[in-house]
């Protein structure tokens, strides 16, 4: 696959009309266009067109049983796509749309390409809170299917340069509106029988959801309840390895930070002795705290928003440095920490140490 990938440079807060109109026309013509959202960069295509959506799966190398989230410019578009949401879901939409919350709803027959839903009877939808995404989707005038704009399995892109690195030559265009916002993907929820299930933690935290739900509606974190191998997970994407740098990543957990750093040093020294090129992900402090060929200091343990924003760029930096062995310190799993640790765990594929 080698097509020319066009770049449109736009102002994030006030994107130029001419650029947006051209990118939107490309989407309407069935081409794939990446664009910034307030979570990460998405790879968009007309969600009604099977040919256009097939190009997303092809460019990403994404398994066809992992459905795509459909992005809308405003809520009036929802009625065309789904059955009307229950009261509890409406509460969430009022509170978090536009924003990093995806709701899974029963899809109307025949309105979307079956590739978008991977054959499920439901569709995940959201309205992104980013001026470029909103302007582009509104101008395209169609529902836009948009998974993260990375090769399947890689860390999600938070800059246009990351998209180009992964998908340059494989997609029609990229709208470059600077750095994406939150840095981790949307929270995916589904409501059934008085319970809201969190299928994937993300930019909206469990605490924020709980505070918004009407009395009597339960909130259940379904993401961590790993399904048995033969069982179909509710969010099909949960079964795939994800977000991973090329080197093997190991998470180090512990309440005592000094002990965590000491364990990281030991692991790094042993890896170096084996001839590995080493990397370390620290959440705050100084790079000199550990002896690695490449150290990414990503935010501060006490400021999880900062950690989320820098996480994927930090993981990508290990590839640039050629790291084959990486240790990463864990963060507290409160608030955004839940989404951050969910991503790190998938990147680690089960390699976790406790001190």
Judged by the rule CB under 6 A, the positions of this chain that interact with ligand AMP are 66-69, 104, 117, 120, 122-124, 147-148, 185, 188, 199-200, 234-238
Count CB neighbours of 236 within 10 A. Answer: 16
Question: Which CB sits closer to Mg ion, 148 or 250?
Answer: 148
DSSP-assigned letter for residue 303: B
Count of residues touching Mg ion (by CB under 5 A): 1
For residue 98, whether the previous peptide bond is cis, meaning omega lies within 30 degrees of 0, is yes
User: For the residues of 131-191, what is the DSSP string, one character each?
Assistant: HHHHHHHHHHTS-EE--BSS-TTSPPPSSHHHHHHHHTTTSSEEEE-SS-SSSS--EEEEE
Distance CA(259)–CA(354), nearest Å, equals 10
Min. distance of Cβ 80 from ligand AMP in angstroms?
A: 17
Tell me which residue of 131, 114, 123 sits closest to 10, measured CA to CA: 131
Q: Which does 346 bind (CB under 5 to 8 A by kind): ligand AMP, Mg ion, none?
A: none
Question: Which CB sits closer to Mg ion, 69 or 209?
Answer: 69
Question: Which CB sits closer to ligand AMP, 22 or 165?
Answer: 165
Min. distance of Cβ 182 from Mg ion in angstroms?
A: 14
Q: Which does 63 bind (CB under 5 to 8 A by kind): Mg ion, ligand AMP, none?
A: none
Distance CA(179)–CA(38), nearest Å, equals 9
Among 113, 148, 205, 278, binds Mg ion (CB under 5 A): 148
Q: Is 102 in the site for Mg ion (CB under 5 A)?
A: no
Count CB neighbours of 351 within 10 A. Answer: 15
Q: Which does 117 bind (CB under 5 to 8 A by kind): Mg ion, ligand AMP, none?
A: ligand AMP
Q: Which does 236 bind (CB under 5 to 8 A by kind): ligand AMP, Mg ion, none?
A: ligand AMP
In DSSP terms, which residues pair with 191 in a beta bridge? 196
Question: Which CB sits closer to ligand AMP, 78 or 235?
Answer: 235
Question: Residues interacting with Mg ion, by CB under 5 A?
Answer: 148
């Amino acid at each position: 696959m080698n097509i020319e990938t066009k770049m449109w440079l736009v102002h994030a807060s006030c994107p130029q009309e001419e650029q947006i109109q051209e990118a939107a026309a490309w989407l309407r013509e069935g081409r794939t266009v990446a664009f910034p959202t307030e979570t990460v960069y998405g790879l968009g295509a007309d969600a009604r067109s099977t040919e256009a959506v097939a190009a997303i799966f092809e460019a990403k190398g994404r398994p066809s049983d992992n459905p795509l989230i459909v992005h809308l410019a405003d809520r009036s578009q929802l009625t065309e796509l789904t059955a009307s949401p229950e009261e509890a879901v409406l509460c969430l939409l009022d509170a978090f749309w536009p924003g990093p919350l995806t709701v899974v709803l029963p899809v109307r027959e025949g309105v979307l390409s079956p590739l978008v839903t991977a054959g499920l009877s439901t569709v995940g939808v959201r309205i992104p809170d980013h001026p470029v995404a909103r302007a582009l989707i509104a101008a395209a005038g169609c529902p836009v299917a948009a998974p993260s704009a990375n090769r399947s399995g890689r860390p999600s892109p938070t800059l246009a340069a990351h998209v180009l690195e992964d998908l340059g030559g494989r997609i029609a265009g990229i709208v470059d509106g600077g750095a994406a916002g939150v840095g981790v993907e949307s929270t995916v929820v589904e409501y059934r029988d008085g319970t809201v299930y969190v299928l994937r933690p993300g930019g909206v935290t469990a605490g924020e959801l709980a505070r918004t739900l009407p009395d009597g509606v339960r909130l259940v974190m379904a993401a961590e309840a790993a399904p048995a191998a033969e069982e179909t997970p509710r969010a099909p994407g949960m079964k795939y390895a994800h977000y991973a740098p090329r080197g093997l990543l190991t998470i180090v957990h512990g309440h005592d930070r000094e002990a965590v750093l000491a364990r990281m040093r030991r692991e790094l020294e042993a890896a170096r002795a084996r001839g590995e090129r080493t990397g370390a992900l620290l959440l705050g402090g100084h790079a000199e705290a550990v002896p690695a060929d490449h150290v990414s200091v990503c935010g501060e343990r006490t400021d999880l928003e900062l950690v989320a924003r820098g996480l994927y760029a930090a993981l990508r930096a290990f590839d640039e440095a050629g790291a084959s062995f990486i240790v990463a310190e864990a963060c507290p799993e409160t608030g955004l920490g839940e989404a951050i640790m969910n991503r790190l765990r998938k990147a680690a594929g089960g390699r976790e140490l406790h001190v």
